[in-house]
Copies of this chain bind each other. A is one copy, B any other.
């Protein structure tokens, strides 16, 4: 998530609006993810920046808008990753597995994003609701899922009555929970869901689960 390189010739004061803005966003992302919205300190964010608190208000307006900007950028990152996904050359089963793995990998590599989303849910998604950028853009992954599902259902490989948004929820829930609930799960069950030695195991488990669901014959009743 770090987007600020170091052109820092120490001692000099260089003016660079884009760099200052990006640096604030970087630090704010860490601070909000670390402590939650109310736990995060504007002064702390400023202190870990090469600029001052004044600039946060200059560029973003306030703590609330800063958090919204942080969310917007974090969601932008996963959208980009989803957009780069190319599964058109794969059969439906391999394509779904590939998509699930992308979500698995992204969530694992961006724990700050997971924490921000958890925090935003505590606040009932008010910031998303108030953001023009995040309004109803949806997700590139959804389009991919729709295409794969249509293809798989047409060929009879997949059960016919599966919805794209539902499948996205199924995949996301497993990937999200693994990161978001790592600490309570670890404390209560003595198992670290992010243990590197178990990574391949859980990654395969997710794919197996989704494929099993999609290819199973549904029992009546």
Contact = CB atoms under 8 A, between A and B. Distances in A.
Copies of this chain present in the complex amount to 2
A47 interface: no
A161 to B, nearest CB: 10
Nearest to A131: B187
A88 B170 CA distance: 29
Interface of chain A: mostly helix, strand, loop or mixed: helix
Interface residues of A, number: 57
Interface stretch (A51-59, A60-68, A149-157, A207-215): A207-215
Contact of A139 (B121, B125, B188): B188
A8 B60 CA distance: 50
Interface of A: 35-39, 115, 117-122, 124-125, 128-129, 134, 136-139, 142, 165-166, 168-170, 172-174, 176-178, 180-191, 193, 202, 205, 208-209, 211-213, 215-216, 218-219
